[in-house]
Structure 1
């Protein structure tokens, strides 16, 4: 998603921004104040903030971002040859 809005940035910058965003949202799920628990019970809150912290989500985010980075590098290499 970051690549759509930050088209002029270097791919490695997009990787860093994407991982920081994903990791921040995931670690934010550890915060359990009443108001945010109530927000997470809404459809919007569930989709944006998630339900709970999982280490496996961090691995999935990392895999997805790295996969997109490698795919972009391969596609750009073929387009510029």
Structure 2
């Protein structure tokens, strides 16, 4: 099994664009969706990025790596030191590292990665045909 890197590059960039758009256009979304879409799309992007880099790994391994990465970033938000808070104060640092720990983010990450795994499973399955 090997994933098409061009397809997964496009998926990663596409989800990145959707995530950034959700920050700008979130006022047009229902409040429940607006509250959670960014974190869910962030985890979906992480999934596709890991699938791109580890293109020969099975979907379950990619999903596990994405969960470990995402959960690690969220747990790191419990740590506050001047140097890491200075990184979080930048736009890129805020997008990657976030600000504060939220249990709901872990749920969003799980949903985003589950969606990514379903899409990946379908893409890999159709590529085998």
Q: 105, 111, 118: which one pairs with 1:63?
A: 111
| TM-fit CA distance, 1:74 | 2.6
Structure 2 stretches lacking a partner, 5+ long? 1-48
Rounded to whole Å, the distance in 2 between the matches of 1:78 and 1:43 is: 38
Structure 1 stretches lacking a partner, 5+ long? none
**Structure showing the higher helix proportion among its residues:** 2
| TM-fit CA distance, 1:76 | 3.0
Aligned length: 81
Give the equivalent residue in structure 1 for 2:58: 10
| TM-fit CA distance, 1:38 | 1.8
* TM-score, length of structure 1 as denominator length: 0.87
Structure 2 matches for 1:1-81, cutoff 5 A?
Answer: 1-81=49-129
